Amino acid sequence: MFVIFNSYISIKIDFTMCQNNLIKIIKERREMLQVTQETVAELSGVGLRTLKQFESGKGNPTLQSLQKLVDVLGLEVCLLVKKLK
């Protein structure tokens, strides 16, 4: 696994988090690192088309693809499952 930026930022996601916020975080991080979509796609193993669709709000990547993207960008996704009472 290759990480462009070594310091990890944790993103906690619950099922109420809007997909648009996640898209915004990933796109802003990529732009902050001054990395092209092509480079992120190549390093992560996620298809360029998948990444472009996701960043445009039209795609719905699998959790595996999402994990690959955030790994390359030095982000972390944490899924929390609420306990049933």
Residue 85 is assigned to a structural domain of this protein? no
Domains of the chain: total: 1
Give the tens place of pLDDT for each residue, 44-58. 999 999 999 999 988
- Report residue 70 as tokens: 């955030």
Give the tens place of pLDDT for each residue, 25-46. 999 999 999 999 999 999 999 9
Count CA atoms within 13 Å of residue 30 on its CB side. Answer: 22
Burial class (CB in 10 A: 0-12, 13-18, 19+), 85: exposed
Instruction: Identify the pLDDT of residue 63.
Output: 84
Q: Which of 1, 2, 4, 16 shows the shortest CA–CA distance to 73?
A: 4
Domain holding 54: CATH number? 1.10.260.40
List the domain range (segments joined by +) for residue 54: 9-79
